[in-house]
Amino acid sequence: MLDPKGFLLVECQNVEQILQESLRYRYSEDVAAKYYTECFARLGSIVNGIKSVPMDEPDLLQDWREQLGTLSVLITHIERSHLEEFPWPFAFELERVAHDICAHYARTKDVLFFFMADGSPISYAVRGDEFLTVRRSKIYSVFFPRTLKDYVLLHAIFGHEVGHVISLAAGASEKKGSEISDVEMDLFADSRFATIDGFYEWCRANIGVLSKASDSYLKENLKSWRREIFSDLFGLLMMGPSFLYAFQSLLAPMYAPDQKLAFVPRHPPYPLRMVILHQAAEYLKMFYGDEGGDAAKLFRKLDKEFRATAKPFLNSEFAVVRDDKIHAAVSSLQKLMEKYDKPSVLYQRPENALLSELIKSLKKHIPPVGPKQINGDGSLQPLQLVDFRSIIHAGWITWAQRSADNKNDDLDDVSENVSESERFRTLNRFCAHAIMQQGGIRRLLDYQLKEERKNNQ
Amino acid sequence: MLMGMSTETVNPVRMSRAIAHAVLHDLSGSQGRAAEPLATSSFLRLIDMYRRNSFEDERHLGVLEKDNFQDLNVGHVSDLYERLRKILDETIRQFDNDDPMQFATHIYDLLAPFAKNGRSTLTGPDLAQLTEFLKKLTASLKNA
């Protein structure tokens, strides 16, 4: 028989063995090395902790056992994370954009992002280590739905998940006084959700809630709703208009309009979120087609689609949050996100000409890499880096225009016998490919800049 | 499942005790020359949380997200951080000092070098004060 301490030390040995083996799996080498170093350091700390527990204090072992369990789960996740199961170029761009703001709110410079694919469309998530995890770096685990591997247009929804990380790390929703919690707390002020009773009455009248349960349960739900809406607004500001289309595409199938029992713990109902997103996008003037001219040609179809899906809810019982509160939240968030500009966390609207160029490529079945120039020797050279969010935006516009053109463009000529779902997948793959190529372009431009500097010295 | 987990998440009171105990064990065993760096870092985060009075920030876990209402022995995670804050505060106030924040900073400064590579040198009154503090803290956390 093994005593508890002996068993845990055996288990530590096993975890070390798994850690050694996990390096052989298909994960990029430099990333694997970072995780290996971090996990190995954590394991060392846990072994030391277990060894320090005296025989007469077995209770202390429980906490080290939990730490060891958490570490084992993390390592097995890494072991099962395969680059070919999620769009890694998108993942790395997401990390590049989200790193600084996540590090700021986690109050550490040592932040690692770990990616893996799992489950279905509801699996989208970004989760961070708990406060008291023995660690050197803070690890954020990013979960892509395994089934949606190629669908970078839908992955615009990750803006929402990054919003959750920021909200949780900032400890928002609990008290006033910090910039993020102020944004969340003010959202429901002067609305029916300003009090627990008002919130319950609204849920009873509109989404079939039958019982009040307890005040603490309602309070926690209200807090979660605030956090969800905060994350939606964060996602919109981070990913731009593509967030609206990804949101609508992913969440509409989960909403049953005739179903009265629409209460889902922790999440506000889809129509309520649609209203808020619509009002926020109007305030941000994100329906660019309203500008007329070239912009109308580019954006109007897509704008119209989203407005049509939001319209039934706009003057309904789901329009609970006051417009001025939504505007204030968006403005405050914008100011807060502006500080993180290398690269910019905020979505930067590209020139219409650039979007047109990207769309032109997509219609010709060419990954929308961006403008190029032809050198004297006939070789092609990229002129500029294109933000991955612009590529995704171009993808959504192309998708909307394809339907509008009614089989008149190149994409349709080629795809006459191909199903709608296959066409959407193909479009996503072109965009994913273009995002991947930005990594190469970045390296080339960096190299050219270095050479230029060297020559000028 | 072989059996239910005792908790779904880290119990901050218990984990703090385990960490404080490990740091104390290392310091005592090495006569103030060594302490495992990650456990020390975790302990420093705790002290820092006290200095910034940000225990509220960690209560975000909330009843729906983490508490499963099954672990009736420990209460809700959201309450545990408050309990942890109180115990830290009471322990710090047991020492003869006018300013608890100053004392917390003193403890932080003594331990900080160990968080880098696990090595430093603590002797005389500093070592005695630090070990005394860790002993009192682990004892209070045990009875929490």
Q: Which pair of structure tokens corresponds to residue A118?
A: 């799992």
Q: Please give the pLDDT value at position A259.
A: 61
- Average pLDDT across chain A, whole number: 88
Here the ipTM equals: 0.84
Torsional sign, CA A221, A99, A28, A154: positive
* CA nearest to A68 within chain B: B10
The span from the CA of A431 to the CA of A363, in Å, is: 12
The span from the CA of A254 to the CA of B88, in Å, is: 46
From A26-35, A110-119, A386-395, the region with the lowest mean pLDDT: A26-35
The span from the CA of A102 to the CA of A285, in Å, is: 27
Nearest-Cα distance to chain A for B35, in Å, is 10
CB-count burial class (<10 Å; 0-12, 13-18, 19+) for B62: buried
Write the residue in B25, B41, B56 that is nearest to A175 by C-beta: B56
Smallest CA-to-CA distance from A238 within A320, A134, A126, A323 is with A126
Q: Which pair of structure tokens corresponds to residue A52?
A: 């320090």
pLDDT of residue A406 exceeding 60, the answer is: no
Q: Which pair of structure tokens corresponds to residue A243?
A: 């967030």
- Cβ–Cβ gap B42/A135 under 8 Å: yes
* CA nearest to A171 within chain B: B57
The reply to whether B40 touches chain A by the CB within 8 Å rule is: no
The reply to whether A314 touches chain B by the CB within 8 Å rule is: no
Q: Please give the pLDDT value at position A184.
A: 83
Prior bond of A257 cis (ω within 30°): no
pLDDT of residue A99 exceeding 90, the answer is: yes
- Cβ–Cβ gap A216/B36 under 8 Å: no
pLDDT of residue A174 exceeding 50, the answer is: no
Place of tokens 């709703």: A225
Q: What is the mean pLDDT of residues A68-89?
A: 87
CB-count burial class (<10 Å; 0-12, 13-18, 19+) for A428: buried
Q: What is the mean pLDDT of residues B36-49?
A: 94
The span from the CA of A182 to the CA of A325, in Å, is: 11
Give the contacts of A314 (CB within 8 A, at least 6 positions apart): A275, A278
> What 8-state DSSP symbol labels residue A349?
P
> Contacts of residue A57 in chain B, CB cutoff 8 Å?
21
Q: B66-121: per-residue pLDDT in tens? A: 444 444 444 566 678 888 999 999 999 998 777 899 999 999 999 999 999 999 99
Size of interface A-B (CB pairs under 8 A): 106
- Average pLDDT across chain B, whole number: 82
pLDDT of residue A430 exceeding 60, the answer is: yes
Q: Concatenated DSSP letters for B93-108?
A: HTSS-S-HHHHHHHHH
Bridge partners of residue A140, in order along the sequence: A113, A128
The reply to whether A58 touches chain B by the CB within 8 Å rule is: no
pLDDT of residue A127 exceeding 80, the answer is: yes
Most confident segment among A21-35, A38-52, A410-424: A38-52
pLDDT of residue B35 exceeding 90, the answer is: yes
Write the residue in B5, B17, B60 that is nearest to A174 by C-beta: B60
How confident is residue A211, by pLDDT bands cut at 50, 70 and 90?
confident
- Cβ–Cβ gap A132/B56 under 8 Å: no
How confident is residue A334, by pLDDT bands cut at 50, 70 and 90?
very high
pLDDT of residue A410 exceeding 70, the answer is: no
Q: Residue B134 CB: number of other CB atoms within 10 A?
A: 23
Q: Which pair of structure tokens corresponds to residue B1?
A: 């499942």
- Cβ–Cβ gap A52/B10 under 8 Å: no
Nearest-Cα distance to chain B for A419, in Å, is 41
The reported pTM is: 0.87
How confident is residue A132, by pLDDT bands cut at 50, 70 and 90?
confident
pLDDT of residue A357 exceeding 50, the answer is: yes
Q: Please give the pLDDT value at position A173.
A: 43
Distances (CA, A) of A44 to A5, A49, A59, A295, B36: 15, 9, 20, 58, 9
> Contacts of residue A265 in chain B, CB cutoff 8 Å?
64
Q: Which pair of structure tokens corresponds to residue A260?
A: 């009265």
- Cβ–Cβ gap A131/B10 under 8 Å: yes
Q: Please give the pLDDT value at position A119.
A: 87
